[in-house]
Amino acid sequence: MKNSLEKVIITGGAGFIGSNLAEHLFQNGTKEILIIDDFSTGSMANIEHLKNINIINGRIEDIEDLETRLMGYNFCFHLAAGVGVKYIMDNVSKALNTNIEATHKIFSVCSKLNIPILITSTSEVYGVSEDEIWTEETKSLLGPPTKLRWSYATSKLIDEFMALAEFNDGNLNPIIVRLFNIIGPNQSSEFGMVVPKFVEAALENNEIIIHGTGEQTRSFTWVGDVVNYFRELALLEPYGEIFNIGQPEEISIKNLAELIITKTNSSSMVEFISHEQEYGKAFEDPMRRTPSIEKIVSLTGIKPSKQIDEMIEEIVNYKINLKK
Ligand SMILES: NC(=O)c1ccc[n+]([C@@H]2O[C@H](COP(=O)([O-])OP(=O)(O)OC[C@H]3O[C@@H](n4cnc5c(N)ncnc54)[C@H](O)[C@@H]3O)[C@@H](O)[C@H]2O)c1
């Protein structure tokens, strides 16, 4: 029997992807959503227009009656986490606690209540792997613990291990997704996310600051495609499986800045600063990050819908409308 998505839980639902997911689920028949969020990086503005949401405002780790509160829900999308390079580097311990302790708590409750769960992991788990294209089987190559940026990847890998261990023991029905640089409406520039930061700077004709040489490439994925995949996966029930969600098209950060300057008709100049200057010695950055998305495309039959040009245009329009 297919999962019902009539009543769902979204942890981190006031955040960027969570709020887009809530909207998408309501448009596709979901009747009620419980959002659990501590509003550390999320915002009420992202969800206040939505009807039929219940909100628990708090850290998952601190909610005492979580089991009672989750009773009667059909599916859990677990998105709450310490996210974003800047946020992680500023809050290493807090982010580690959330990503491990909160996730463990959600797993225990979902396992007791028999609620299937989708877990949002990250392309960071591949580290600096030198493989051309990263499939779900690619070996991780993480830096040492003295480089604190790897704490995020490590905590997400622990989440994946915990989920698969519980699945193997027959206790939990998890689906794991590894997300590659997601962009779109509701993404804040405050926590170091490159596209909203560059677009905001360009619209103000301010300097665009690139960390490193700008030769590093990334592949950006539209949030609308991501939430579509989430819903499809929840319905298809591939429990115990890991899926990359991304876009194989790569762009260097330097070219991204130039594209944004063109699309905004901006007079912004580009400045380069070293990673060390911005984040100190404990930082390392992979030069490229390109997903194989064969697995998810062949399961769902859905391909990413937008190229980078189109995504940037939509984000620029979104930011301009916000200012009106
Ligand atoms: N945006 C991306 O490019 C990207 C890439 C890889 C993975 N991810 C993963 O996707 C998920 C969603 O990311 P996002 O980009 O929407 O980030 P986000 O920061 O906008 O969303 C995270 C949400 O979780 C909430 N939160 C944090 N700690 C919490 C806690 N202890 N209890 C309750 N709520 C808490 C925050 O307030 C926020 O609303 C995260 O798990 C992230 O690791 C995102």
Q: How many helices (H) and strands (E) would you count in the chain?
A: 12, 13
Please give the distance, rounded to the nearest whole angstrom, from the Cα atom of residue 202 to the centre of ligand 1.
26
- Residue keyed to tokens 């916000």: 322
Residue 68 CB neighbours (<10 A): 11
Nearest CA to ligand 1 atom 11: 79
Nearest CA to ligand 1 atom 41: 79
Q: What is the pLDDT of residue 280?
A: 66
Residue 121 CB neighbours (<10 A): 23
Q: Is any atom of ligand 1 closer than 6 Å to the C-beta of 83?
A: yes
The pLDDT of residue 287 is above 80: no
Q: What is the pLDDT of residue 279?
A: 67
pTM of the predicted protein model:
0.95
- Residue keyed to tokens 């989920």: 163
Nearest-angstrom CA–CA distance, 280 and 54: 41
Please give the distance, rounded to the nearest whole angstrom, from the Cα atom of residue 267 to the centre of ligand 1.
33
Nearest-angstrom CA–CA distance, 157 and 165: 12
Beta-bridge partners for 141: 127
Atom of ligand 1 nearest to the CA of 14: 39
Please give the distance, rounded to the nearest whole angstrom, from the Cα atom of residue 120 to the centre of ligand 1.
9
165-212 residue pLDDT tens: 999 999 999 999 999 999 999 999 888 789 999 999 999 999 999 998
Q: Report the topology of domain 7-183+221-248+290-305.
A: Rossmann fold (3.40.50)
Nearest CA to ligand 1 atom 1: 182
Nearest CA to ligand 1 atom 28: 81
Nearest CA to ligand 1 atom 29: 80
Atom of ligand 1 nearest to the CA of 188: 20
**Domain layout of the chain by residue ranges:** 7-183+221-248+290-305
Please give the distance, rounded to the nearest whole angstrom, from the Cα atom of residue 149 to the centre of ligand 1.
16
- pLDDT band of residue 89 (cuts 50, 70, 90) is confident
